[in-house]
């Protein structure tokens, strides 16, 4: 059975990158995934360094073990024409409606219709079967709207089903909601270890749960590498002078600062005995301690944010920051990280 993976996150968290990496990870071992874009930004094409995606499913990458990633940029207008043709068999009349601007009119008077069409197209790909009744795709990954509107985006079909009590519109909306509220759907929330994205993630999880929609995992993106011994920076304030003295003395003994300004540089001038080597060492220590305090504050903040995310009772996975920016090798590296964490942690 195919599965729908919805990837959301606050703007700037790299949700499109995570969605692309997830599609590659899920395609490993000869599987087929469909990566769906719904916001019209052509972010997927940029990541995979390919031409802008048309409104058709196109193979864009090969994953480890001969897996395939296909991609689709869903266009609301084309999706509406597909919808009308599927349920009302309009044929050439549909093309006439497009020329008359009826598509824009329909999505203007019913703003939620656009989201119905986008989610409906993704769910159709999940349900699609080949001639042997096997799923065409093992997984469909949707690069979805930001966390702030993900619950409304996924829940709009429920509103439509309530408004249209009978007929194909009602039936289609119900079918979509059956997929979205079932174990076939997983919603992954992408965040950074920063206060605003984490707060929006926590709020998004609560909203999804209140609406009966699945909140499945949290992906912390662009995590900085931990430094050896950084936890030791979290020292009580009253030890700052003691630490400064120790560093100044160590620098002086190492010969830092004495030769250029008349100090002996032989390690015999202490940090505070008036030796000029010690004075220069002290000047080195002050900015270093400032940097250390700032880093310690960052370490403490990230520790608290991790605790807040883990309190949501969801699997939390972390992806490192790419030092050279996001390119194809980096994207495949992130896919490997996700694959490894998927198989060593809780299933998603």
216-246: per-residue pLDDT in tens? 999 999 998 877 666 666 555 546 677 777 7
Average pLDDT of the segment spanning 291-308 = 85
Positive or negative, the CA dihedral 83, 86, 90, 92 is positive
- Mean confidence (pLDDT) of the chain: 81
Whole-prediction pTM: 0.81
CA distances from 99 to 59, 81, 84, 85, 96 (A): 30, 12, 15, 16, 5
pLDDT tens digits along 108-158:
545 567 788 788 889 889 999 989 999 999 999 999 999 999 999 998 877
Cα angle 8, 10, 16 (rounded to 5 degrees) comes to: 50
3-state secondary structure of 327: coil
Which of the residue ranges 43-52, 190-199, 262-271 has the most confident prediction, judged by mean pLDDT? Answer: 190-199
pLDDT at position 97 over 90: no
Q: What is the CA radius of gyration of the chain?
A: 27
Q: What pLDDT is stored for residue 165 in this prediction?
A: 61
Where is average pLDDT lowest: 77-86, 179-188, 265-274?
A: 265-274
pLDDT tens digits along 161-200:
565 565 666 777 778 888 899 999 999 999 999 999 999 9
Q: What pLDDT is stored for residue 164 in this prediction?
A: 56
3-state secondary structure of 164: coil
Q: What pLDDT is stored for residue 259 in this prediction?
A: 38
Q: How far apart are CA 145 and CA 148, in angstroms?
A: 8
pLDDT tens digits along 99-110:
556 556 555 545
pLDDT at position 274 over 50: no
Under a CB-based contact definition with an 8 Å cutoff, are residues 61 and 49 in contact?
no
Confidence of residue 62 (pLDDT cuts 50, 70, 90): very high
pLDDT at position 253 over 80: no
Average pLDDT of the segment spanning 308-315 = 96
Q: How far apart are CA 276 and CA 75, in angstroms?
A: 71
Average pLDDT of the segment spanning 289-310 = 85
Q: What pLDDT is stored for residue 236 in this prediction?
A: 57
């Amino acid at each position: 059975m195919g599965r729908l993976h919805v990837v959301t996150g606050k703007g700037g968290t790299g949700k499109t990158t995570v969605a692309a990496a997830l599609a590659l990870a899920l395609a490993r071992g000869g599987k087929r995934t469909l990566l769906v874009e719904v916001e019209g930004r052509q972010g997927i094409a940029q990541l995979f360094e390919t031409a802008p995606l048309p409104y058709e499913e196109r193979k864009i990458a090969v994953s480890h073990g001969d897996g395939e990633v296909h991609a689709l940029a869903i266009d609301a207008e084309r999706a509406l024409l597909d919808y009308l043709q599927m349920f009302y068999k309009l044929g050439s009349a549909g093309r006439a409606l497009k020329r008359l601007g009826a598509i824009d009119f329909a999505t203007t008077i019913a703003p939620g219709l656009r989201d119905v069409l986008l989610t409906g197209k993704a769910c159709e790909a999940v349900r699609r079967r080949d001639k042997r009744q096997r799923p065409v795709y093992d997984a469909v990954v949707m690069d979805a709207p930001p966390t702030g509107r993900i619950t409304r985006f996924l829940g709009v079909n429920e509103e439509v089903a309530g408004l249209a009590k009978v007929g194909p519109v009602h039936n289609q909306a119900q079918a979509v909601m059956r997929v979205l509220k079932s174990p076939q759907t997983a919603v992954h929330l992408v965040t950074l270890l920063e206060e605003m994205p984490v707060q929006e993630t926590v709020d998004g999880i609560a909203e999804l749960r209140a609406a009966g929609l699945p909140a499945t995992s949290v992906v912390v993106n662009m995590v900085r590498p931990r430094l050896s011994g950084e936890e030791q920076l979290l020292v009580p304030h009253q030890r700052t002078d003691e630490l400064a003295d120790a560093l100044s003395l160590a620098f002086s003994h190492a010969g830092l600062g004495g030769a250029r300004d008349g100090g002996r540089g032989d390690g015999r001038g202490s940090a505070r005995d008036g030796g000029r080597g010690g004075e220069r060492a002290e000047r080195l220590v002050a900015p270093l301690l400032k940097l250390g305090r700032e880093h310690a504050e960052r370490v403490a903040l990230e520790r608290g944010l991790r605790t807040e995310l883990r309190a949501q009772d969801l699997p939390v996975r972390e992806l490192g920051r790419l030092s050279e920016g996001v390119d194809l090798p980096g994207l495949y590296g992130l896919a490997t990280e996700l694959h490894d964490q998927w198989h060593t942690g809780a299933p998603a």
